[in-house]
Amino acid sequence: MDVLISVDMEGITGVADRSFVLEDQLNYSLGQTLMESDVNAAIEGALEAGAKTVYVTDAHNAGHNLRLTNLHPEAQLVTGSARPFPMIAGYEKVDVAMFVGYHARLGTSQAVLDHTYTSRLRLWINGTEAGESYMNSLLCGHKGVPVVLYTGDQALANEVNSFSPAAYNAVVKSSWGRSATASLHPTKSRELIKEKAIEALKAWQNGDIKPIKTTNPVEIKVEFIISEMAEQAAVLPGAKQLDPRTVISVQPDIEMGIRAFLSMIALAKAPLF
């Protein structure tokens, strides 16, 4: 059994606001330590459940957050920028995946640092509003890889239950606002994540958790906060601007759809005013 663990930062134990997730901010070093604690718990659970190989993909920002020397020695770290599908790099090489430190989609009430790739857009995939958890689960599912465990706040768990009710959740904190949280202590969080990782992988081995998939072709709809961003994104070949802030692109499958989405993000730059 080969396992991929995709690790974002906003849903990590104890992470409450931007100061934990931005490199130049006060609590970033603590955020790294907490991130490593959560992912090490997931690694331990995967190994105990029988994993042969564990890849850990650093999915936050440019992928330079996890420190290799602080990770479990049996895991392999996938790090660095300019990777295809950067949040789940390596998903085509594994049997099963777990998402650690994920967050709710933009616009979710009572969710820590909710966003969808940025705080400047909303995304729909075949008519379903999508956050990073759903989007990346569909990409994994396209290769037959189920995501069996998600860790983050209670808002993420509610979101996951809407599209993958059989998957396991480890709720490590509750939102008291977008930039405030009541969190488990890292010791308790490690115990919970490890326990849920073992349970989730055993459930998958028993056939209880299946890959999440969508139909083809795939319609990607992106709503930006201002019209100029939509105008820039609509330059993408095959894209169409529906209204001043909304662009759609129809692609043959989810991989091409997410490539289109990431290309739109790269094209759309918000002006300063």
Residues recognised as catalytic: 115
Are 208 and 111 spatial neighbours (Cβ–Cβ below 8 Å)? Answer: no
**Token pair of 167 as six digits:** 């998957």
271: exposed, middle or buried (Cβ count in 10 Å: 0-12, 13-18, 19+) = exposed
Q: Tokens 């930006």 — which residue?
A: 224
Say if residues 219 and 250 touch (Cβ distance below 8 Å).
yes
State the residue for tokens 């930062």: 9
What H or E segment, with its residue span, contains residue 169? strand 168-175
Q: 5-35 burial, b for 16+ CB within 10 Å, e for fewer?
A: bbbbbbbbbbbbbeebbeeeeebbeebbebb
Residue 193, amino acid: I
Least Cα distance to 267 among 238, 223, 231 occurs for 231
> With b meaning 16 or more CB within 10 Å and e meaning fewer, what string describes 189-222?
bbebbbebbbbbbebbeeeebebbebeeebebbb
Six token digits for residue 239: 């894209």
